[in-house]
Amino acid sequence: MTDTDRERDRNKETAFYMFTQQTLPACKPVLTPAWVITIFLFTGCIFIPVGLVTLRASRSVVEIVDRYDAECVPEPFRIDKISYIQDDSIPKNCSRFLKVHKYMKAPIYIYYQLDNYYQNHRRYVKSKSDQQLLHGQKYHDTSSCQPVEFNNDHTIVPCGLIAWSLFNDTFKFIRERAELKVNRKNIAWKSDRDHKFGKKVYPYNFQNGTLIGGGKLNPRIPLSDQEDLIVWMRISALPSFRKLYGRIEEDLDVDDVVMVHLMNNYNTYSFSGKKKLVLSTSSWLGGKNDFLGLAFVFVGSSSLILALVFMLLHLRYRRPYGDTSYLPWNRKSLSV
Ligand SMILES: *[C@@H]1O[C@H](CO)[C@@H](O)[C@H](O)[C@H]1NC(C)=O
């Protein structure tokens, strides 16, 4: 055999591979009406119960939300709230009464909610130094912290706008003249405490400048134990957000009245933000949020309706499969 013969043979072999002939075994599903209807029915039957269970979990959560920023400004100052909040000589304490409308099982989570607060602003987000939070003064390149970087030529620890604007309202809870115990430990992520905030970094010169942005920190406690700061520095993606303040570890009964002694320190008035206090229980799915349940029920019922519509159409206009007289070009020739 010559070389060209051999070549031709080889070509002949490859030419008849199943792959080159596109005759490999393959799954070729045909979406017959029966199949489509069954799939829609099945989806509906799975999604609706899951949605109802999810919705039930969300509805079982008891929540008390109290907006206090407006009412905690004494009557004479209501016309000029900004000068009220900026004047340190006016006392900022305020009492609120929360009525419990449904039995609340411990642990009851305490959140503060801020509205219209853009923690996601481009320059705010960047204004911190992760390395400094972990290593402290040893780390010098803190230029990312601008405009809150230095105080008297010393770098501020922790530097940056986020830390500087730490939320500083405080809450105390009293029921029938006894103070409710609030557990303020373990409110931050463990991974943040262990790996992002230094165990030997102390906020020795924090909030010492002329312009005070928010909360102060105890300089004798390392950053890894300053949980309020850690919670605050995990910035929120949306302008309305809740942050965990603590947990009440006693049950609250129906018609209990909880008196809240709060210090209304934080200035949300200059940007028309709102402040709310939230008490909430939790379910196996977390807090109160109907969205997931409603989405499941919506998708499930849409599938059921589609299944029904298709079934009616199928029963009404039944015809054999593969009838070529229905093809458009055949139909046209029929009508001519
Ligand atoms: C709380 O933060 C505000 C700024 O929002 C500040 O003016 C005020 O001095 C702070 N108060 C305390 C007690 O830290």
- pLDDT tens by residue, 269-319: 999 999 999 999 999 999 999 999 999 999 999 999 999 999 999 999 888
pLDDT: is 47 or 149 the higher one?
Answer: 47
Q: What is the mean pLDDT of residues 135-139?
A: 87
pLDDT for the residue 1:
56
Q: How far apart are CA 164 and CA 211, in angstroms?
A: 10
Q: How far apart are CA 282 and CA 103, in angstroms?
A: 13
pLDDT for the residue 29:
85
* Ligand 1 mean position, distance from CA 95 (Å): 19
Q: Which atom of ligand 1 is nearest to the CA of 267?
A: 5
Ligand 1 pocket test: pick from 81, 89, 212 the residue with the most ligand atoms within 8 Å of its Cβ: 212
**Model confidence pLDDT, tens digit, residues 71-84:** 999 998 999 999 99
Closest CA to 32 of 327, 301, 319, 333: 319
- Reported as a pLDDT band with limits 50, 70 and 90, residue 149 is confident
Cα–Cα distance list, 4 to 9, 10, 16 (Å)? 9, 10, 19
The angle formed by the CA atoms of residues 215, 98 and 165, to the nearest 5 degrees, is 15
Q: What is the mean pLDDT of residues 156-173?
A: 94
Percent of the chain past pLDDT 70, that is, above it, reads: 94
List Cβ neighbours of 327 (8 Å cut-off, separation of 6 or more).
Answer: none
User: Looking at ligand 1, which residue's alpha carbon is closest to its atom 2?
Assistant: 214
Closest CA to 187 of 75, 293, 110: 110
pLDDT for the residue 45:
96
Q: How far apart are CA 217 and CA 180, in angstroms?
A: 24
pLDDT for the residue 278:
97
Structure tokens at 276: 């709310």
pLDDT for the residue 81:
92
List of long-range contacts for 30-33, beta carbons under 8 Å, 24+ apart: 32/321, 33/310, 33/314
* Summary count for the chain: helices (H), strands (E): 10, 11
- Reported as a pLDDT band with limits 50, 70 and 90, residue 184 is very high
Any bridge partners for residue 202, and if so which? none
Ligand 1 pocket, residues with Cβ under 6 angstroms: 168, 212-216, 265-267
**Model confidence pLDDT, tens digit, residues 111-136:** 999 999 999 999 999 999 999 999 98
pLDDT for the residue 199:
93
User: Looking at ligand 1, which residue's alpha carbon is closest to its atom 10?
Assistant: 214
Place of tokens 């165990």: 199
Q: Which atom of ligand 1 is nearest to the CA of 215?
A: 14
Q: Which atom of ligand 1 is nearest to the CA of 216?
A: 14
Q: How far apart are CA 193 and CA 226, in angstroms?
A: 9
Q: Which atom of ligand 1 is nearest to the CA of 85?
A: 7
* Ligand 1 mean position, distance from CA 104 (Å): 33
